[in-house]
Structure 1
């Protein structure tokens, strides 16, 4: 049952990040796309290269989410997700405190804990490719 639990966690978290990456990169699922997201990044204080940072964030989320959900190089997927979450904490949420209800970093913190925990445990037996 632990392997099934890890599989459910990996799919839920990983595919959610795939969706967030697609929002930033392609404007899918009601997302802003790289230009609008880049402009938003510049509006919150990232003065140089907003579009470049938007594309990088989208790629980290998309690739990290794909790897994490597939159980393929789960540790690398987790690192990519954690980098984006740490960035979100420091650029957007930290100033608002911990609690999500105040715009804080609570949700980002929980996501970091989940992906780090799965990376340390391992992906389980339900992975995209055979695991020896």
Structure 2
């Protein structure tokens, strides 16, 4: 049975942690690899370089929306393709375990599960703009 007194805070915790993860990964692409370097990496994978800029923007906007609780359920679903792209273009080839060289797909897959759980459980406490209202 779900405890209606604590479940909204569990969703809040999940929403904040997922948002912070996306912000950290976008920051890595911006400040460490640089947007141009990320575009070059995307190009080396056979993807168009401009997709790197779209991915960075999607991660930043999605992270902010999750952290603030702005349509978090819908945003969680919208962020899943970013992680599927990471699995199918980079991490899937490295095997399951993320400790493998190149990072396996276990972490992005678990991240997807977290996003889907958030989409199912709801926006949580302190959401500025819930996806669905009663």
Q: Does the 8 Å contact 2:42/2:52 carry over to 1?
A: yes
Unaligned runs of 5+ in 2: 1-5
Partner of 2:52: 54
C-alpha separation in 1, matches of 2:57 and 2:74: 13
Counterpart for residue 39 of structure 1: 40
Structure 1, unaligned stretches of length 5 or more?
none
List, as ranges, runs of 4+ consecutive aligned residues in structure 1 with deviation greater than 3 Å.
129-132
Higher share in helix: 1
Q: CA RMSD in A?
A: 1.9
Matched-pair contact (CA < 8 Å) for 2:71–2:129: no
Cα pair distance change 1:96/1:19, threshold 3 Å: closer
In 2, distance between residues paired with 1:55 and 1:39? 11
Higher RCO (CA 8 Å, separation ≥ 6 residues): 2
Name the counterpart of 2:3. none
Once the two structures are TM-superposed, the CA of residue 10 in structure 1 deviates from its matched residue by: 0.9
Length-normalised TM-score, structure 1: 0.83
1:48-127 aligned at under 5 Å gives the runs 49-50=48-49, 52-102=50-100, 103-127=103-127
